[in-house]
Amino acid sequence: MQTIERFESAVRSYCRDWPTVFTSARGCTLVDDDGRQYLDFFAGAGALNYGHNHPDLIEPLVEHLRRGGIVHGLDMATGPKIEFLERLDARVLTPRGLEYKVQFPGPTGTNAVEAALKLARKVTGRDRVIGFTNAFHGMTLGSLAVTGNSMKRRGAGVPLGNVDSMPFEGFLGDDHDTIEFLEAFLVGDASGIDLPAAVILETTQAEGGINPASDDWVRRLADVCRRHDIVMIIDDIQVGCGRTGPFFSFERAGIDPDIVCLSKSLSGSGLPMAVTLLKPHLDVWEPGEHNGTFRGNNAAFVTATAALERFWSDDELSDDVVRKGDRIDAYLGDLATEHDGLFAEARGRGMIRGIEARVPEAAAAIAAAAFERGLIVETAGPNDEVLKLLPPLVVSDAELDRGFGILSESVEAVLDRLGDDLVAAEEAEEVAR
Ligand SMILES: *Cc1c(COP(=O)(O)O)cnc(C)c1O
């Protein structure tokens, strides 16, 4: 840790939250250099839906490397790329009646978003894009412009332009229909908002505090996009690849988005990989107009293909995610009821779940107490007020129970320690209201 503190930039963050040196991992367990085990309810921020080092994904990779398979391939044609494209079509797209061209935009999520934004602007000839309050789309300038968080936005150092932020479902309170609000701006001759190239949406906002949009809201947004000829981009980087149950988070709403961004758990192994899926008529790129050195991470293609084959040949994983998600929901719901002075509400979908603390510091304190007890959980939301549960989708019921136990203990410990402060803070808040 001294080396990290001495040499690594102050921008580092997770190693501050979990101050130990990790040495190995398997499934839902991380091990540190003292041999201490940690139950991982963070899953690489959603990059490890199938757990750490799943043998069915790692074995084909080891085999690929051992026989001298291609590792770096730019966008050259390679065996692993062809196999990935064929498997994506056979296991994911065709069974869902979805037709997309696949763009390899570079290895990270924000690369997939930048490609989507650029293409929507090119196709429509318009320059503005609508993003939503509390959205998170990545750290490069285009993605950051459609991200809500003001601390992250300030980091840009330049104006983040050509975007309009609109209220996500519920942002203005339950009495306001935010789709009506949005459409009023699109049709008004004097709204001051130009017709955008695209709308970009997370169907369940992850970093923004675990906010699931209702299926009806998502469908009505898709309808607005269709009627006004606006490209609809779904950012499924964190909540795709089965996180909410189905492979794509938008399947339950029955929409057919124009562009879909995938990354995080796409490779299945934690290796960097991303795709931007485009409706064929939108594929107006010139060859090489958008490129990048690391678009052909063949090691990631190998594990991605293995993951599609292993987990998406049937509905077993999807069904299991819904079932285990309901268990997490029930647990968090009980926790919120039991400690309603501490928690405002539990929310989420599938296996992305959160519980909002009334006093933001409490969420971080509980996460820290959980770490001391061997559980890795993070916080989300504009003030880090939401404790976020994101276990690997393959977590066992016994592991879930163990995690719940540690979390309950951590809540009690924080209540003991902060109890009086929390009550005081809440009273201060009451008075302010
Ligand atoms: C993580 C994330 C991104 C950015 O991905 P990076 O790989 O960190 O660039 C974009 N959108 C969503 C919804 C994410 O969760």
Residues 378-387, mean pLDDT to the nearest whole number = 97
User: How large is the angle between the packed helices 79-88 and 298-311, nearest 10 degrees?
Assistant: 30
**Is the CB of 206 inside a 6 Å radius of any atom of ligand 1?**
yes
CATH number of the domain within which 49 lies: 3.90.1150.10
**Domain final position from 260, 281, 311:** 311
Residue located via tokens 């809540």: 411
φ and ψ at residue 50, rounded to 5 degrees: -100, 15
**Domain final position from 244, 277, 311:** 311
- pLDDT tens-digit map of 136-148: 999 999 999 999 9
The domain in which residue 306 lies consists of 58-311
219 and 282 inside one domain: yes
Q: Which residue among 42, 49, 110 is best mutated to probe the pocket of ligand 1, counting the most ligand atoms within 8 A of its Cβ?
A: 110
Q: Give pLDDT, residue 433.
A: 58
289 and 325 inside one domain: no
Token pair recorded at residue 282: 């939108």
Q: How many domains does the chain have?
A: 2
The closest residue, in CA terms, to atom 11 on ligand 1 is 137
- pLDDT tens-digit map of 346-377: 999 999 999 999 999 999 999 999 999 999 99
**Is the CB of 302 inside a 6 Å radius of any atom of ligand 1?**
no
103 and 252 inside one domain: yes
CA-264 nearest atom, ligand 1:
7
276 and 340 inside one domain: no
CA of 261 to the centre of ligand 1 (A): 9
- pLDDT tens-digit map of 64-93: 999 999 999 999 999 999 999 999 999 999
121 and 264 inside one domain: yes
Residues 280-292, mean pLDDT to the nearest whole number = 97
229 and 179 inside one domain: yes
64 and 185 inside one domain: yes
CATH number of the domain within which 141 lies: 3.40.640.10
Alpha-helical segments (H) within 133-191 = 141-145, 150-154, 178-187
**Is the CB of 132 inside a 6 Å radius of any atom of ligand 1?**
no
First-to-last alpha carbon distance for the chain, in angstroms, is 44
**Domain final position from 273, 295, 311:** 311
Residues 57-62, mean pLDDT to the nearest whole number = 98
Distances (CA, A) of 392 to 45, 165, 196, 242, 402: 10, 32, 37, 10, 14
**Is the CB of 205 inside a 6 Å radius of any atom of ligand 1?**
no
**Is the CB of 203 inside a 6 Å radius of any atom of ligand 1?**
no
CA of 10 to the centre of ligand 1 (A): 21
If pLDDT is split at 50, 70 and 90, which confidence band does 431 have?
low
333 and 207 inside one domain: no
CA-140 nearest atom, ligand 1:
9
Q: Give pLDDT, residue 188.
A: 78
Q: Give pLDDT, residue 423.
A: 60
The pLDDT of residue 430 is above 80: no
Number of neighbouring beta carbons within 10 Å of residue 92:
19
- pLDDT tens-digit map of 387-421: 999 999 999 999 999 999 999 999 999 999 877 66
212 and 341 inside one domain: no
CA of 9 to the centre of ligand 1 (A): 21
395 and 287 inside one domain: no
CA of 336 to the centre of ligand 1 (A): 29
CA-CA distance, 23 to 33, in Å (whole number)?
Answer: 6
Q: Going by C-beta distance under 8 Å and a sequence separation of 6 or more, which residues neighbour residue 137?
A: 109, 110, 113, 131, 143, 144, 146, 147, 200, 202, 235
The pLDDT of residue 432 is above 90: no
CA of 37 to the centre of ligand 1 (A): 27
Distances (CA, A) of 325 to 132, 193, 245, 394: 25, 39, 8, 12
14 and 144 inside one domain: no
If pLDDT is split at 50, 70 and 90, which confidence band does 162 have?
very high
**Is the CB of 263 inside a 6 Å radius of any atom of ligand 1?**
yes
